[in-house]
Structure 1
Amino acid sequence: MKEITDIIKSYELALVAGKKMALATVVHVEGSSYRRPGARMLVTDDGQLTGAISGGCLEGDALRKALLAISQQKNKLVTYDTTDENDTKLGVQLGCNGIVHILFEPIDKEQTNNPIELLKKAVAKRQNAILITLFSMHSRTSDQPGTCFLHLETDKEVVCNCEGQELYNVLLTESAEAYNKADSFFKTFDLGEKKQTVFAEYLNTPPSLVIAGAGNDIIPLVEMTSILGWDITVVDGRAGHATRQRFPKATQVLVSRAEDVLSHLKTDERTFFVLMTHNYNYDLSLLKQLIFLEECTYIGTLGPKKKLERMYTDMLAEGIMVSESQKTKIYGPVGLDIGAETSEEIALSVLAEIKTVLNKKSGLPLRDKSEPIHNRSDQQVKYSESDKEEFLCAVTTALP
């Protein structure tokens, strides 16, 4: 989501400057690639790049393709084959062993719901969204409808740039399936005389981190979290510590008693809490509320295990028994074991742990993982043998 918000900011600045733009989107990957479907890069006519579609290998050639799309004002699908490490056609040796399909869309600022405007609608509120990109990999000369459909979960708003009721019904059905799966997927259809692939992209709300505490050790945690593009709330009972001047990158800074914190927040299953006030009673009071917050999946507590055990004992004395199920969402001491000592290292440890919980991962070294780094179960388009032959004849590594 951070990449999308950065692209939107650059888009707004480019509009003011009167620049022309094109959006490059990774729409499909076969094999290994540095970026996965949904990675985007905005290109302006003066060569400014925002976002990334690779690890830097494709950006140079992609700039030229984007400028061509801007010049011709036509969507273009370009296929980069990185499986041949000795291939010097692109002037680089990619070594990713994958085939990457990138869609280039010139941005028409007069179009009310151009691809960037759809992205703006998708991130305007804290809600999940389905964004559909429609493209054809069977012929590079085929029309490429591009980013054309948005379905907002909470607002129930649907925006469609494609013509025809039949196509609208197809895309609406696929967006509903993406919501049910809570995941992105691909599917190919015979639409009229053309085969088109639907990339239904599930755009989840960004994680929200609520940090109880406003001491100096919170500053690097806020800085690192802002780089990830997460929503950040800093809350503390001390007005002299919880200030916007100390935490300019926080989404909100609150001065509140522990008993009133939740009344100021709107939480969901992607809201994470860390208790780092260095005030035992404040942390305890907040923990007593959080354990009953059903959607909460992560509560990190700073300090040794004996501090957390004392909290359990004190709550039991008040008649509050913390169940084993409730304990599973409490992480104390907070963070992964990386040998963290400084506040910056502790912040890294905390965020790494939250990321493993968010993505339901183990946190083990990737070298010990036998499966591919990325889950590709839903990242493949299903084709018949005749489709494959047609596709292999049509794809090209670069447009002339």
Structure 2
Amino acid sequence: MKELQAIIQAYDLYKESNKMIALATVVQVDGSAYRRPGARMLVSEDGELTGAISGGCLEGDALRKAQTVIFQQKSLVVTYDTTDEDDQKFGIGLGCNGIIHLLIEPINYQSDINPIELLRIALQDRVSCRLVTVFSVKYSKQEQIGTKVLFKGSKLFGDKQHLEEDLWEKISHEIKTTDSANHSIVKFEELDDVQVFLEYIRPTIRILLFGAGNDTVPLAKMADILGMELVLIDGRKNLATSFRFPSARKIITGSGDEVVAQLEVDSFTAALLMTHNFEYEAMVLHDLIPLNLTYIGILGPKKKSQKLFERLQKQGVAVNQNPIFSPMGLDISAEGSEEIALSILAEIKAVFGGKSGSFLKEKNGPIHE
């Protein structure tokens, strides 16, 4: 998500100066690769790069290909085969051992539905989307249909005129049947001459950070690096300031029994209780539980949480402990506020990604399904 935000910001700057650009997108990967489908890199006519499509081994050649696309104003598909041990051009020594298909598209500033404008629409509000990109590996040198359509809720953005009717019907059907899927997929490989990348774009994770003490400052900074949206909540106006938390999208100050009502939440929202104030957090948790959040984290020992639960049960609040993580964070032997922040954010990432947070070396099969 951070990468998409950076690409849109760079696009706006290039548009002001009318600098020609192209967008390179990983649309299909066979085997192992450093980046997965959906990774992007924006290339300017003078060779500036925003984003990344690999660990650095493909960027140089992709830059040259993208500048050709800019000059010719014609999209194309480039295939990098890192399974060939005799081909050292692209840093095969990294051992990715995969085949990467890259779509490079020239960007037309005059179109309000060009690929980057569609990405902007996808990120404008907190609604999951499906971005449709059509390409052909078989006819890679021919001009590609490219990124044309965005499904966002019940709305459709883009231009489907370049899609044949039977292909459009297949895409529409696939969108409907995979509407609840929370991952990107490549379909219609069996047609041999065309592939469709259905990219799942979900809202960025929103962090409701209850606590403006010194120990939460590193967490706020790390959340910003990860592209997460931060909302800061505390009863202490002298601590909950934009000077101390410049990355906070919003700052709310007030008593524990009034702040939750001022919050906007959805299924991509995590709440972190880090105020070190038992009474404040008891009031906050009382109002958070009915919201059915995906993640509620409580800093501190289990005894503290147990007392909170007992308090709420006496007040008639049914405590569902499934979304409550206490003590929150992964067990990485964290010491100090920076390491604790790392532990907490790693756990949040795992929960929203549907993972256990275990060692990758213990996983059977590839890193990415």
TM-score in terms of structure 2 length: 0.95
- Residue in structure 2 matched with residue 338 of structure 1 by the alignment: 332
State the partner residue of 1:76: 76
Paired position in structure 2 for 1:386: none
In structure 2, do the counterparts of structure 1 residues 29 and 370 end up closer, same or farther at CA, with 3 Å as the change threshold?
same
Quick one: which of 182, 201, 211 aligns to 1:203?
201
Give the gaps of 5 or more residues in structure 2: none
**Structure 1 residues 162 and 2, CA gap change in structure 2 (3 angstroms):** farther
Q: Deviations over 1:201-229 (max 9, x none)?
A: 11111111101011111111010001111
Distance 1:319 1:91, change over 3 A: closer
Instruction: Please say if 1:281 is aligned against 2:279.
Output: yes
Cα drift, residue 91 of structure 1: 6.2
- CA RMSD of superposed structures (Å): 1.8
* Residue number among 297, 301, 305 corresponding to 1:300 in the alignment: 297
How far apart, in 2, do the equivalents of 1:347 and 1:78 lie?
A: 40
CA distance in 2, matches of 1:268, 1:83: 42
1:48-84 residue CA offsets vs partner (Å, 9 max, x unmatched): 1111100001001000000011011100100000012
Alignment of 1:257-268 (within 5 A): 257-268=255-266
Tell me if structure 2 keeps the 8 A contact 1:4–1:119.
yes
Whether contact under 8 Å (2:20, 2:107) holds in the other structure is yes
C-alpha distance in structure 2 between counterparts of 1:88 and 1:165, whole Å: 40
Pairwise CA distance, 1:233:
0.5
Task: Give the C-alpha shift of residue 171 in structure 1.
Answer: 3.2
Taking the TM superposition and a 5 Å limit, the aligned residue runs for 1:349-388 are: 349-375=343-369
Aligned twin of 1:147: 147
Would you say the 8 A contact 1:83–1:97 is kept in 2? yes
The answer to whether the 8 Å contact 1:26/1:53 transfers is yes
Q: Which residue of 2 aligns with 1:390?
A: none
Distance in 2 (alpha carbons) for counterparts of 1:303 and 1:94: 42
Residue 93 of structure 2 aligns to a residue whose secondary structure is coil
SS of 1:259's equivalent in the other structure is coil
Please report how far the alpha carbon of residue 277 of structure 1 lies from its aligned counterpart in structure 2 after TM superposition.
Answer: 0.6
SS of aligned partner of 1:200: strand
Q: Does 1:160 align with 2:154?
A: no
My pick for the range that moved more, 306-315 or 157-166, is: 157-166
Structure-2 residue corresponding to 1:312: 309
Instruction: Report what 2:231 is aligned to.
Output: 233
Structure-2 change in CA distance of 1:49 and 1:161 (3 Å): farther
Is the contact between residue 286 and residue 312 of structure 2 (CA under 8 Å) also seen in structure 1?
yes
The one of 263, 269, 272 aligned to 1:271: 269
Specify the SS of the correspondent of 2:198.
strand
* Residues 5-56 of structure 1, C-alpha deviations (whole Å, 9 max, x = no match): 1100000011112211000000100110000011000000111111110000
**Equivalence for 1:255:** 253
Deviations 1:293-335 (A, max 9, x none): 22x121111111111111122223333343xxx1122111111
2: CA distance between counterparts of 1:188 and 1:309? Answer: 52
2:348 aligned partner, one-letter code: I
1 CA distance for matches of 2:263 and 2:19?
Answer: 40
Contact 2:223–2:230 (Cα < 8 Å) also in 1:
yes
DSSP-derived class of the 2:367 partner? coil
Contact residue 232 and residue 250 of structure 2 kept, 8 A: yes
**1:169 to 1:161, Cα distance in 2 relative to 1, 3 A:** same
252-261 or 61-70, larger mean C-alpha shift: 252-261
CA distance in 1, matches of 2:325, 2:22: 44
Deviation at 1:172, TM superposition (A): 2.9
Tell me if the contact between 1:178 and 1:200 (Cα under 8 Å) persists in the aligned partners. no
Shift of 1:231: 1.1
**Letter of the 1:307 counterpart:** K
Asked which structure has the greater RCO (Cα within 8 Å, sep 6+), the reply is 1
Q: Deviations over 1:349-373 (max 9, x none)?
A: 1101111211121211111111211
Helix, strand or coil for the counterpart of 1:101?
strand
Q: What are the residue-to-residue correspondences of 1:56-71 with 2, within 5 Å?
A: 56-71=56-71
Identity of paired residues, percent?
48
Amino acid of the structure 1 residue aligned with 2:201: L
| TM-score normalised to structure 1 length | 0.88
The answer to whether the 8 A contact 2:82-2:90 is kept is no
Which digits, 9 at most, give the CA deviation of each residue in 1:215-248, with x for residues without a partner?
Answer: 1111110100011111111000111111111111
Q: Which amino acid aligns with 2:296?
A: I
CA distance in 2, matches of 1:308, 1:23: 48
SS in 2 for 1:258: coil
Q: Do 1:233 and 1:250's aligned partners in 2 also have CA atoms closer than 8 Å?
A: yes
Residue 17 of structure 2 corresponds to: 17
